Chains A and B, each alone.
Chain A
Amino acid sequence: MAGRKKTLNTVCWIIGFFVLWEAVADIMLYLLHDPNAEKKLTAPSLILQQFVADAPHLLTEAGITFSRAAIGFAIGAAFAFLLAVLMSLSRLIETTLLPYLLLSQMIPILGLAPIIFSLVKDLDTARIVIAAYMSFFPISINLLSGFKAVRTDQQTLMYSYACSKWQLYRFLILPSALPYLFAGMKIAAPLAVTASILVDTLSVQDGIGQIIVYSLAGGGALGAFWPAVVLGALLGVISYNIVTLAEFILVPWDRGEAGKEKSA
């Protein structure tokens, strides 16, 4: 019951938010007669209208941006996994690699993206590389913390079974770090989408970022701006929810329900 009440609450807030937004936009346009009202605050009804009118184009471009982000995310996650395992295996590798990983995150992505693009000379490859680059760090760091957070008593038990290193990873360290892996991936997934959109804007060919830049530059095509921005934000939300869904399926023991205390 509490869950349903919470959902109702959320829905009310969202509806209220849009009603307020619509009202303010309409007041600016019809009551205050602001000539730039539509640019300053576009009414959600108008955005929706424009979105529907332009839907096939918008969704195609969004698909391009999202699929490259997804490929980059997958590559970044695989790389992150490898790094985390290596760092957990050897203290030397960890202390050697970690400063460079940190350093890699200090480089402004706005500066790095054009360099990568001019190096690989291919928009799709650049999108994938940058998405992977943005994804790997939070996943790697979270996973490494997960590997280190393994309970000592659980390790002691494995030791008492005289298990091999491989068995230790397979049966204890990897599964117990899964919630950490997902925590990292929840941060990384929207980052990968942002990265992909950023690369769209570099070469005005395709993708959701291209629509945003084009509509801003063209001025007249402003109608496409808001729907594209909203869609871009939606892609981030969707990516996050895909990871959450995957966690729900793959980490069944950590679901809210299972965590409920039962009396003796």
Chain B
Amino acid sequence: MSTAEISAKNVGMVYRDRKGQEITALQDVSFDIEKGEFISLLGPSGCGKTTLLRIIADLLAPTSGEISIGGETPAQARKKLKYGMVFQSPVLYDWRTVRENVRLPLQIMHLSRAEQESRISEMLELVGLTSFANHYPKQLSGGMQQRVGIARALAIQPDILLMDEPFSALDEFTKEKLHNDLLHIWRKTNKTIVFVTHSIAEAVYLSDRVFVLSPHPGRLTAIEPITLTRPRTDSMRNSEQFFELVGRIRNDFEGGSI
């Protein structure tokens, strides 16, 4: 048994469309992700990156192969609340204030009131929303809503943070600020992060390694280590090395069958 935090062996996902035709969403995907790594699943739409994330999260069952989460099945890991999920839309509960949104998973976990309060304060502090604790989601900007989503995901103290294109609906400036916020949070909390994106630059800026996926059928075509030093800073976005990495990954796609 490997020591990897997340390990995939020959994972495949085949489903039938309405006409009964078989569609291969994922084919023979294998990888190991170490504890504390920041991994991006990168590819165009139809490459199966979101499917792969959902399989890891136990929201979908693969039709072949298996995933191991530190020796457990994804279902076991989910039931032990090892995953924090962040979606493309913030998925906040409109009827709950920011504070109560972060409280929700803690209520489900039956934590004591005192424990809930201390975790909520800590998380809101971490994402810089302490002064907005009593606002309703509709009163917040898109970037702030997404930060609530991140706070809520981290509140359950998961081992793994699964993020499905969390910043893709945000404007460029908000997005770049949240990149730095996320890296800051990652450094402080030492989570393993799996981050789905279709932006090469985003994947390069954030990740330790970029998993490059290609469509039709969805498969893992390359794993690119990102050699930029940590901590990442905004100036790196304009560095020679950054452009070189972006260019190399773009080549991975052009060499493939896109």
Q: Report chain A residues within 8 Å CB of B138.
A: 253, 258-260
Query: B59 near A161 (CB under 8 angstroms)?
Result: no
Q: Would you list which residues of chain B between 165 and 203 have a CB under 8 Å from chain A?
A: 170-171, 174
Interface on A for B, CB 8 Å cutoff? Answer: 151, 153-154, 156-163, 167, 171-172, 175-176, 178, 251-254, 258-260, 262-264
Interface extent on B, as a size class?
20 to 34
Q: Report chain B residues within 8 Å CB of A160.
A: 57-59, 78, 83, 85
Q: Does B14 contact A (CB under 8 A)?
A: no
Query: B94 near A254 (CB under 8 angstroms)?
Result: yes
Known: A162-B79, A264-B171. A258 touches B140 (CB 8 A): no
Known: A262-B139, A262-B140, A264-B174. A161 touches B105 (CB 8 A): yes
Name which residue of chain A comes closest to B88, CB basis: A153
**Nearest Cβ in chain B — how far from A42, in angstroms?**
48
Q: Report chain A residues within 8 Å CB of B171.
A: 264
Query: A153 near B89 (CB under 8 angstroms)?
Result: yes
**Nearest Cβ in chain A — how far from B162, in angstroms?**
9
Q: Does B73 contact A (CB under 8 A)?
A: no
Query: A175 near B95 (CB under 8 angstroms)?
Result: yes
Q: Report chain B residues within 8 Å CB of A151.
A: 91
Query: A154 near B78 (CB under 8 angstroms)?
Result: no
- 9 A-B pairs with least C-beta separation: A264-B141, A162-B79, A175-B95, A253-B136, A163-B108, A153-B91, A253-B95, A160-B85, A161-B108
> Can you list 14 pairs linking A and B with CB atoms under 8 Å apart?
A157-B91, A161-B105, A162-B78, A162-B79, A171-B108, A172-B93, A176-B95, A253-B94, A253-B138, A254-B95, A258-B136, A259-B138, A260-B138, A264-B170
Dominant secondary structure at the A interface:
helix
Number of A-B contacts (CB under 8 A): 71
Q: Report chain A residues within 8 Å CB of B108.
A: 158, 161-163, 167, 171
Taken residue by residue from 136 to 149, chain B's Cβ proximity to chain A (1 for < 8 Å, 0 otherwise) reads as 11111111000000
Among B83, B105, B137, B156, max chain A CB count under 10 A is at B105
Q: Report chain A residues within 8 Å CB of B59.
A: 156, 159-160
Taken residue by residue from 53 to 65, chain B's Cβ proximity to chain A (1 for < 8 Å, 0 otherwise) reads as 0000111000000
- Extra contacts, 15 of them, besides A161-B108, A175-B96, A176-B93 (Cβ < 8 A), are A151-B91, A154-B93, A156-B91, A159-B59, A162-B81, A171-B93, A175-B93, A176-B94, A176-B95, A178-B95, A258-B138, A259-B138, A260-B138, A264-B141, A264-B170
Q: Would you list which residues of chain B between 86 and 107 have a CB under 8 Å from chain A?
A: 87, 89, 91, 93-96, 104-105, 107
Q: Report chain A residues within 8 Å CB of B85.
A: 156-157, 160
Name which residue of chain A comes closest to B97, CB basis: A253
Q: Report chain B residues within 8 Å CB of A157.
A: 85, 87, 91
> How distant is the Cα of A162 from the Cα of B94 in the complex, in angstroms?
21
Q: Report chain A residues within 8 Å CB of B136.
A: 252-253, 258
Q: Report chain A residues within 8 Å CB of B140.
A: 262
Interface on B for A, CB 8 Å cutoff? Answer: 57-59, 78-79, 81, 83, 85, 87, 89, 91, 93-96, 104-105, 107-109, 136-143, 156, 170-171, 174
Q: Report chain A residues within 8 Å CB of B104.
A: 161, 171
> How distant is the Cα of A176 from the Cα of B249 in the complex, in angstroms?
43
Query: A161 near B156 (CB under 8 angstroms)?
Result: yes
Q: Report chain A residues within 8 Å CB of B143.
A: 264
> How distant is the Cα of A175 from the Cα of B97 in the complex, in angstroms?
13
> How distant is the Cα of A175 from the Cα of B109 in the complex, in angstroms?
19
Q: Report chain A residues within 8 Å CB of B89.
A: 153
Q: Which of A158, A162, A254, A263 contacts B141 (CB 8 A)?
A: A263
Q: Report chain A residues within 8 Å CB of B105.
A: 161
> How distant is the Cα of A154 from the Cα of B79 in the complex, in angstroms?
17
Name which residue of chain B comes closest to A157, CB basis: B91
Q: Report chain A residues within 8 Å CB of B141.
A: 262-264
Name which residue of chain A comes closest to B59, CB basis: A156
Q: Report chain B residues within 8 Å CB of A172.
A: 93
Q: Report chain A residues within 8 Å CB of B58.
A: 160
**Nearest Cβ in chain B — how far from A70, in angstroms?**
26
Q: Report chain B residues within 8 Å CB of A158.
A: 108
Name which residue of chain A comes closest to B171, CB basis: A264
